[in-house]
Structure 1
Amino acid sequence: MRLLLFISFLVLSSCSFQHDVTVTLVVPEYHPFEIAADSEFWYTLTCFDGRTINERHIPKGTRTLNVRVEAGGLSVFSLKPLGEFGSLGGFYEPGESQEVHMLSENGSFSDMLLSAASYRPDSVRRLSIVKVMEEVDDLQSIDEPSFLEDVFNGTLGYGITISDKTGMSSDTIPEGMWVSERYDVPSFEVPFSSRPVHFLLYPGVYRYAEFDKSLLLTVIITEEGETSEMFSELPLW
Structure 2
Amino acid sequence: MIKKFLLKLAEIYQFVAKVLREIFLPPYDWKETLRQCFIAGNRSLFLIVFTSFLAGIVFTRQSRPSLSSFGAESWLPSLVSQAVVRSLGPLITGLICAGKLGSNMGAELGSMRVTEQIDAMEVSGTRPFSYLVASRIMAATCMLPFLVVFADTTALLGSYFTVHFMNNSSFRLYFNDVAVSVTYLDIFSSLIKAAFFGFAIGIVGCYAGYHAERGTAGVGKAANIAVVASMILIFVIDLLSLQFINLFRR
Q: Under a length normalisation based on structure 2, what TM-score does the superposition of the two structures give?
A: 0.23
Which structure has the higher relative contact order (CA within 8 Å, separation 6+)? 2
Structure with greater Cα Rg: 2
- The structure with more helix, counted as a fraction of residues: 2
Q: Under a length normalisation based on structure 1, what TM-score does the superposition of the two structures give?
A: 0.24
- The structure with more strand, counted as a fraction of residues: 1
